[in-house]
Each structure stands twice: as C-alpha cells, then as structure tokens.
Amino acid sequence: MSRADTVTVKLHRALYTRQAIEEAAAVFEGFATFNVDRDGDHYIVDVTDINRDVEGDVVAEFCNFSLANTASQQAGRR
Amino acid sequence: MTQSLIETLDTKTSTLTLSLDSSLYPRDVLYAAAYVFLDRAYVLLDRVETRFVVHIRGKQLLDEPTLRAMTGEFENELLAQALRLRVIKANQRIIESVTTLAIAGAAGGMHEGDAAGGLHDGDDEYDDSTDFLDDPLGISKPWQPKKEEA
C-alpha cells in the first residue's frame, strides 16, 4: 500500500468474498481502477489510476470496505 | 493469552501484525472483532496454514504503548464476540420465539393460544353498532363551563 501508481492487494479467498470485493470496487471506482482476478488461495486486486488528490488512503479504505462487506454478508447468512 | 501473538510491531508506520490460532477463533468472531476497529484502523485479514494473520495499521500515527493497547483490545474483542456468538447459538430458539411474539403483538394483538402461531385480523372483536359519540355509561363531561359558574 505505497504511493506507487499501481498497487496490488492480495485478499484470501477464505476470508473475503468476490462479491464483497467487487461491491467495494464499485464504491471506489471514482478514485481508482480496480481489476479483480483469482490466483490460488487469493483474489488479486490490481489498483491503478489512483487519484492522489483524495485525502486518505484509497487502497486501504477499499480493503476496509471489502472486509466490512464480507462481514455483513456472512452475518446475514447466519 | 499466549495463543494470540504479536508478530510484528512498527511504530514508524503504526502497523502491527497479529497471528491467531484459527481453531480457537471462528471466522465469524474474527470478522466481528475486526469490524469494531474499522473506524480507527485499516485492517487486512489473511490466512497462513492454520493461523489467521491480522494486519492492522492505525489511521493516525500511533506510539508503541497505543499499538500494544490496541492488540489487547483486539484480543478482548475476540473473546467478547466469541462469547456473544455462543450465547446467540445457545438461545437461538428463545430469541426467535420472543421476536415472533413481539412482532405478532405489534401487528395487531394476541389471543390466547396465538403463541403457537398465526396472526388474526381482530375483526371478531370489533362492535360496529356503537358510535364514538355514544356514551352508554354516562361518563362524558362537557368541555365548556356550566352557565351557572359563569
């Protein structure tokens, strides 16, 4: 999660759902471009075109949203 | 309290990494505990073999005592959420019954025996022959003072 132009995030498939990740990506689509792929046990999220004028860490907030979405989905299924 | 360990702690970046035994903490407990921290930290979960790895980075700059305190808070939250989940599972049927009764009551009253299920519309209790101005018991009083008093 550096200030590089492209950031790659690995989210474990046992802990994050693809739907949750894609919903988070949709929320942040105005601030960066997200590409979600699968690689073994992880979802690989390539984040590009990150808007650096935005206050805060877009990628880290995206990860928080992905986690919150997943947690909400899992709670709803109980 | 030795099963939950700080793997790394870095005050320069306000980050810490925790490693948790996944056999001790169900995934739902981990989600619930992490959720509590989302407003003040960036949380990233991972899994390595049989352990959950939790990466936490403060949204503000945090010193070492604060980071260690956050670790303790996270462990406490794990325990609290684990207990909460256990209580919910143990009382699932009671919670559902009470909720059903409450919703049924709010939806239009209960009759004896309604706890077994089923709502009623209440039409059988409504007496259509009386008007709201009727006063069969003679208990109504006028709003305006009597002429003698004036």
Domain ranges of chain A: 7-77
Across the interface, whether the CB atoms of B27 and A78 are under 8 A apart is answered no
Q: Say how many CB pairs under 8 Å bridge A and B.
A: 49
Specify if B119 maps to a domain: no
User: Does the residue B106 lie in any domain?
Assistant: no
Q: CA-CA distances (angstroms) from residue B26 to A17, A60, B20, B126? A: 17, 24, 10, 53
For a pLDDT cut of 70, what percent of chain A falls above it? Answer: 94
Inside any domain, residue B25: yes
Contact B42 A64 (CB under 8 A): yes
CA distance B87 to B80: 11
Model confidence at B106, pLDDT cuts 50, 70, 90, reads: confident
Q: Which residues in chain B have their CB less than 8 angstroms from residue A16's CB? A: 45
Among the partner residues A63, A68, A74, nearest to B44 by beta-carbon distance: A63
Instruction: Decide yes or no: CATH 3.40.50 for domain A7-77.
Output: no
B47 → closest Cβ in A12, A71, A78: A12
Cβ of A67 within 8 Å of Cβ of B31? The answer is yes
Spatial separation of the C-alpha atoms in residues B33 and B76, rounded to whole Å: 9
In chain B, the number of structural domains is 1
Range(s) of the domain holding residue B84: 5-92
Alpha helices in chain B (DSSP H): 27-37, 64-90, 92-108
Give a yes or no: residue B12 inside a domain: yes
Residue written as tokens 């075109």? A49
DSSP-assigned beta bridge partners for residue B8: B17
pLDDT, position B54: 96
| CB spacing of A14 vs B35 below 8 angstroms | no
Give ∠ CA A42-A44-A45 in degrees, rounded to 5: 140
CATH code (residue B17): 3.30.70.60
- How many CB atoms are closer than 10 A to CB A8? 14
ipTM of the prediction greater than 0.85, yes or no: yes
B34/A67 touch (CB, cutoff 8 Å), yes or no: yes
**Spatial strand order in the sheet of A33-39:** A7-12, A42-48, A33-39
**Range of A1-5, A19-23, B98-102, B120-124 with top mean pLDDT:** A19-23
Residue B57 resides in a domain: yes
A70 or B106: which carries more pLDDT confidence?
A: A70
- Domain assignment present for residue B88? The answer is yes
**In-domain check, residue B145:** no
Single out the residue of B74, B51, B78, B71 nearest to residue B10, CA to CA.
B71
The model's pLDDT over B31-62, given as tens digits with 9 standing for 90+, comes to: 999 999 999 999 999 999 999 999 999 999 99
How many other C-beta atoms can be found within 10 angstroms of the C-beta atom of residue A13?
16
pLDDT at A55: 82
Residue B118 domain-assigned (yes or no):
no
Average pLDDT over residues B66-83: 94
